[in-house]
Structure 1
Amino acid sequence: MKKNITKPKQKRLSIFSVLFLFGILLFFNSCDDEPIDELNKKINIALRSGNEITENERNEFIEYINENSLDLPQIIDSNNEINQEELTNLILSVANKRRNNTEPKIFSPNNNSENEDKNTIVSVFIENSGSMDGYVQGTTEFEAALSDLLVQLQYKYNKEKNNNQNLNINFINTKIYPSKVDEVNNFVETLEPSKAPYKVGNRSVSKLNEILEIILDSTKQNEISILTSDCIYSLDKGKDTEGALEFQKSLTKGAFLEKSKEFDFSTIVLKMNSKFDGYYYDKDNNKTRLSKKERPYYFWIIGKHNLIETFQKEINLKQLKGFENSYYLSNSQENNQPFFTVLKETNKIGNYKPTDRKAKDLKSINEIEYENGNLQFSIAIDLNNIPVDKTYLTNSESYIVPDGFIIKSIEEVDRNKIEDRDFVTVEKTTATHIITIATSNKFTLQDLKLELSNKIPAWVEESNSIDDRDVENELDKTFGLLYLVQGVSEAYTTQNPNNKSYFNINIEIKK
């Protein structure tokens, strides 16, 4: 009897032990799955912004994988390196599980980016006409910015030491004069109005449209061209100023349209500021002596879209000495849908509820209740990849909303200005700004269509002069600048008439 009693007990104990061990294995296996789950979450959050994985986002994934490589063997190859193909497949897998499972745009380091960098030639053109002498007299911000830019270009585009084949530095007036540069660091120190290499060519003549045509004609598909100039139109004496400026504008427009027949390209215009010590020549070619006065000048950066996109990421333009503003022009800006969601509490006036209470991102509201006739709500939105200045993004006049809506504020994400309940949501997203919108019951309830207009920024008109004969009272302005930029902008609009906005989003508002 004892044997009959004892054996079953041992059997039960054995089964219990097996189940216990099996449970432990399951526990540890579930722990092993945590890094892949976290990586999937990171990918999902990144895809919310325009259904795209940028280079920075992919680098974040790589950093996380490297930190958890032992738990992510499926993405590590036999050499203990990240298998980029498997990472791309994982991103596609996550994308396919989303509601809108269209194939995302994914940055890949294998898309010949390294070869592209090696093959990209950067040509810098320094206008050296007499009107530019004041920027290179003594030590100036112009020289500091140019030096910094050249050093960055050498580091990025000349991978091999003492190999300047991918970086060409030229002077330009009536034609191009290449400068033999052995050491970029020392080049700027040699710039003086009375000395070589600066003193070369016909420096008494400066026709901006001819300079632009020469540069555009010389720019090839594997090349980025950078012009630095005061960008002042030269007019014939005795002609009507406005009519002459309109004529110059049409020449600029024609030059850019002609180049677009070869290939699509983008243009960045930077407004810079520097001390100027020399003679200023006005529209009648009369000169005024300016002694160490602050004056604007410009960098124009021209090249194929993908080259300019890489250039913007690699070269820190906004930290150049004297940088003020920029304007990005292109005929192929992708009107990507940025990530956005309506916040439930922040800056709220009145009341509303989510139409779909299960949706992670709130894009439709209903059951509207006004408070003293007013309704107000905020939108968290990712404006990180919009190629415009921060001042443009935070200027309500840059946006278009339907009649009846007004933009109350546009601010960068700040924890102190977001309700706690909303911040829990915002911090898990790529949102960079909070836009607060208001309407009232005086207007018919309608959907909110919010659009960031693609137009010439306000700083261009504010920097424009049409009569520079009293230059000392408008030192911060450039004669004819608005006409110049309008000519380029109209060329891009002609190529792509539908490219009128950087993005537009829609929020359904129901009763």
Structure 2
Amino acid sequence: MRYSVCLMALFLLFSACGGGKKRDKKEVAAPAKTESVGTVHFFLETSASMGGYLKGGTTFKDVVADVVTKANQIRPTSLYTISGKAPQPVTGGVNSFVAQLATTPLATGKSSEMHQIFKQVGSKATGNDLAIFVSDCILSFPDADIKSNPEVNRSDASSTLKNNIYDQFASFSKQGIGATVLAYTSPFNGTYYTYQNQKQKLAGEQRPFYIWVIGKQKLVGPFVQQLIDGLTTPPIKRLDFGAAGALNRYDLFFALNKKGDWRADHNNVTNIRMGRKAQPVEFAIGLNMSGLPDYAQAEAYLKSNLAATADNGAVKLVSVQRKDAVKTDRMSDREQKLLSQNTHVLTFRVDNLFADAAMLTLKLPVRFDTWYTTWSTMDDRTEAGRKNKTFALEHLMTGVREAYQTGGNEFANLTIQLKK
């Protein structure tokens, strides 16, 4: 009898240990393989309208030289100039190109429609490659159209030109390609072309220019941040257009930030004890938000925009933590593995459950900054009308925004089951 009892105890012991190992494997998935940037393709627009940025000592030359050099330190960078024809490869490497910025008249090409340039630039942002494009981003019809109708740029920018941009970036969005825009201003010394194609000589007037980084959003975000961290002159403004799709996966932590009485069961919160004598219930989830634009990852944005609704309960977000801010000294190995797979930890409090089960839905809507409206003008014939402004920039950026912000477009859409 004693022998049988001992055998039964050993059997239960090994079964329990074996079950624990199986749960570890099931609950803690192996970290996803991190993708890395391949080649960076750098494009400098060299139509005649860009010439004034390259004469004399200008912020433009300093920033472009810095961007090219720092990008090449991050990943190998190929160089091109682009205007009214196919991109022209630049030979001699980065150092030679930087020297040409100071010594060679580069901006001598014919103007080209912006959506056509974006098409050629974006064709290089395939796979894990990224494209960087530097331009004044002035929307314009071809010269022949302006000559026929001097007002065509102003009258049709909000329709034809905007929708040309929309069409091109909608194509990028379908391919999972996003974009980040960095905005600067620089003294301009040379010929400026108004929306009517009339020439005006400028001497040191401040003119905006823009640096676009185009490629897979999950690669663009980290690359841009690494690039900015190394730049001597940071951008004045930034705008991120994402194409990563709605985030729908999360990891439920079983001890981190836990309060109250509940259990984790297959990423659901179960066995919740409610009532006046029960402790408040709080639980934390991990989200990998690396594929979202940087502003959408900010604590202030998440607290202001994340909608948490429960069909049979009252739940609210109580804290947002970046992975690096989480204290791991008392965390189990299993939870540290979960944390390593995510960028953020969001903690929620269950204030009430009105039934035995509730479905918690978390939605993070896509919202874009609109600073570009103050950088835009529709009459650039005078210094007052164009200083620190770009003709029709609002319509260009609106076309891009509409390509990514469609219908119920969301950065995240998650559901979590809550059970008593």
State the TM-score, normalized to the length of structure 2: 0.65
- The equivalent of 1:234 in structure 2 is 140
1:465 aligns with 2:376: yes
Q: Give unpaired runs (5+ residues) of structure 1.
A: 1-93, 159-166, 347-351
Q: Deviations over 1:24-78 (max 9, x none)?
A: xxxxxxxxxxxxxxxxxxxxxxxxxxxxxxxxxxxxxxxxxxxxxxxxxxxxxxx
Q: Which has the larger radius of gyration?
A: 1
Q: 1:318 aligns with which of 206, 210, 228?
A: 228
Q: 1:253 aligns with which of 139, 162, 166?
A: 166
Partners of 2:186 and 2:156 in 1: CA distance: 32
Partners of 1:288 and 1:398 in 2: CA distance: 47
Moved more, 272-281 or 443-452: 443-452
- The equivalent of 1:174 in structure 2 is 84
Q: 1:483 aligns with which of 392, 395, 406?
A: 395
CA contact (8 A) 1:342 1:363 kept: no
Q: Give unpaired runs (5+ residues) of structure 2.
A: 1-20
CA contact (8 A) 1:354 1:364 kept: no
- The equivalent of 1:502 in structure 2 is 411
- SS for the counterpart of 1:233 is coil
CA contact (8 A) 2:218 2:292 kept: no
- SS for the counterpart of 2:132 is strand
Moved more, 283-292 or 382-391: 283-292
What residue identity is the alignment partner of 2:309?
A: P
What residue identity is the alignment partner of 1:148?
A: D
Q: Deviations over 1:448-479 (max 9, x none)?
A: 422233x3521555555354547758866544
**Structure 1 position 171, deviation (Å):** 1.9
CA contact (8 A) 1:341 1:362 kept: no
What residue identity is the alignment partner of 2:33?
A: F
Q: Deviations over 1:345-372 (max 9, x none)?
A: 79xxxxx73331x66988458444689x
What residue identity is the alignment partner of 2:113?
A: K
Query: Which one has more relative contact order, counting CA pairs under 8 Å at least 6 apart?
Result: 2
**Structure 1 position 386, deviation (Å):** 3.3
Q: 2:260 aligns with which of 353, 356, 367?
A: 353
Given the superposition, is the C-alpha separation of residues 460 and 450 from structure 1 closer, same or farther in structure 2, using an over 3 Å criterion?
A: farther
1:302 aligns with 2:302: no
- The equivalent of 2:50 in structure 1 is 132
CA contact (8 A) 1:179 1:197 kept: no
CA contact (8 A) 2:375 2:389 kept: yes
CA contact (8 A) 1:141 1:322 kept: no
**Structure 1 position 208, deviation (Å):** 1.5
CA contact (8 A) 1:386 1:502 kept: no
What residue identity is the alignment partner of 2:97?
A: F
Identity of aligned residues (%): 21
Cα RMSD after superposing both structures: 5.0
Q: Deviations over 1:200-253 (max 9, x none)?
A: 322xx3531232234346766686433211222126543585753232122123
**Structure 1 position 388, deviation (Å):** 1.4
Note the 1:206-245 alignment, pairs <5 A.
Answer: 206-216=112-122, 224-234=130-140, 237-239=150-152, 241=154, 244-245=157-158
- The equivalent of 1:90 in structure 2 is none
Given the superposition, is the C-alpha separation of residues 338 and 139 from structure 1 closer, same or farther in structure 2, using an over 3 Å criterion?
A: farther
Q: Deviations over 1:272-315 (max 9, x none)?
A: 3243334665545575847364x543223334x4xx75576567
What residue identity is the alignment partner of 1:196?
A: T
**Structure 1 position 506, deviation (Å):** 3.5
- The equivalent of 1:65 in structure 2 is none
What residue identity is the alignment partner of 1:185?
A: N
**Structure 1 position 405, deviation (Å):** 6.6
- The equivalent of 1:148 in structure 2 is 66
Q: 1:98 aligns with which of 9, 12, 25?
A: 25
Partners of 1:106 and 1:432 in 2: CA distance: 13
Q: 1:187 aligns with which of 73, 77, 97?
A: 97
Q: Deviations over 1:82-114 (max 9, x none)?
A: xxxxxxxxxxxx89843458x7574289xxx8x
Note the 1:422-437 alignment, pairs <5 A.
Answer: 424-425=330-331, 428=336, 429-430=339-340, 432-433=343-344, 435=346
